[in-house]
Structure 1
């Protein structure tokens, strides 16, 4: 099953939770990969919530990922490790330090120690 399904260009929903420092995000240039994607890697803490916890069979882990990566490429890196997560790919939103980010071509500039939360839809009342 292919992981990359067409997404709206530059689709992002961001919401500030606190006055924490803001990460720089830029859209990747049309038809080009993110700048220097593989050269710099950093350790980030990935936290799983709701259904993603069940599918990954853990609550959190530390991963080494490229420092500059699109949100969709980050998802694909995570799915390589936890293939069962593919069933929720079209419903997932990342929370990358204090901002919600949809999967797409948004360039994320991660710093060592950043926390990336995987937030699938949560129902409730």
Structure 2
């Protein structure tokens, strides 16, 4: 950049005569280039800061959306927990009745087996009786 300043300073409106005027023009050219450099650097840094700030705003928005989503999920989980608690309480209340139903079912199955055996025995007796009648 210093080369550019030197070349611009030497080719810009420099009088052909006088060393002092040439030196002051060079200093002014360097100062102008320096001011331009500062301005562009400032603009670049400002743009970088704006991009970074926008990234942070985006992250904040994402965090807010995520927080809201998790709050909704937490509400759903609480509702499910409450429902499961209610169902568990109801099951506890009807458990003795269910146990009685299971016992009755076992007894009915046993009775059904006994009835089936009795029916088979009655048929055998009937067949014996008929065979004795024929004689």
Range class of TM-score, shorter chain: under 0.3
TM-score (norm 1): 0.14
Q: Greater relative contact order (Cα 8 A, min sep 6): structure 1 or 2?
A: 1
Q: Which structure shows the higher strand fraction?
A: 1
Q: Which structure shows the higher helix fraction?
A: 2
Greater Rg over alpha carbons, structure? 2
